[in-house]
């Protein structure tokens, strides 16, 4: 079993839709949770960071962590064509980082 599971998609939505991206994990020691965005032929860039359980909002992006269910989510409101990218979740117990496989998202104008 992988440490982090993420549906690879691809996911295709119309502009303006709400997007929900999710990851599950098995290691209860994970305390730090991140979402990265990766455009084609580029390196990943940090989008959201959350420590432990709870919600965090930044503009159109909301990250949620449910440690009891070992489940994290990223919501994108009013999605834009510029949001088209691969989204990777990542998590850490405090030393090493574990990444999901990434979900490919396309926002259609």
Partner 1 sequence: GAGVSQSPSNKVTEKGKDVELRCDPISGHTALYWYRQSLGQGLEFLIYFQGNSAPDKSGLPSDRFSAERTGGSVSTLTIQRTQQEDSAVYLCASSLARTSGTDTQYFGPGTRLTVL
5 near 99, Cβ under 8 Å? Answer: no
Report residue 25 as tokens.
Answer: 């994990």
Question: Which lies closer to partner 1 via its Cβ, residue 74 or residue 90?
Answer: 90
How many other CB atoms are found less than 10 A from the CB of residue 100? Answer: 25
Rounded (5°) CA angle 20-11-98:
65
Applying CB under 8 A, the site for partner 1 has a residue count of 28
d(CA 85, CA 82): 8
Q: Which stretch binds partner 1 (CB under 8 A): 9-17, 67-75, 76-84, 90-98?
A: 90-98
Q: Which stretch binds partner 1 (CB under 8 A): 12-20, 34-42, 61-69, 74-82?
A: 34-42
Please, what is the minimum distance in Å from the beta carbon of residue 58 to partner 1? Answer: 14
Our finding on whether 95 is near partner 1 (CB under 8 A) is: yes
């Amino acid at each position: 079993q992988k440490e982090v599971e993420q549906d690879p998609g691809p996911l295709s939505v119309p502009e303006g839709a709400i997007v929900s991206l999710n990851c599950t994990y098995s290691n209860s020691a994970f305390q730090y949770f991140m979402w990265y965005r990766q455009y084609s032929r580029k390196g990943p860039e940090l989008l959201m960071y959350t420590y432990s359980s709870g919600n965090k909002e930044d503009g159109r992006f909301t990250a949620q962590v449910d440690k009891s269910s070992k489940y994290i989510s990223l919501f994108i409101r009013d999605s834009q064509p510029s949001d088209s990218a691969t989204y990777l979740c990542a998590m850490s117990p405090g030393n090493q980082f574990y990444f999901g496989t990434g979900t490919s998202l396309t926002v259609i104008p």
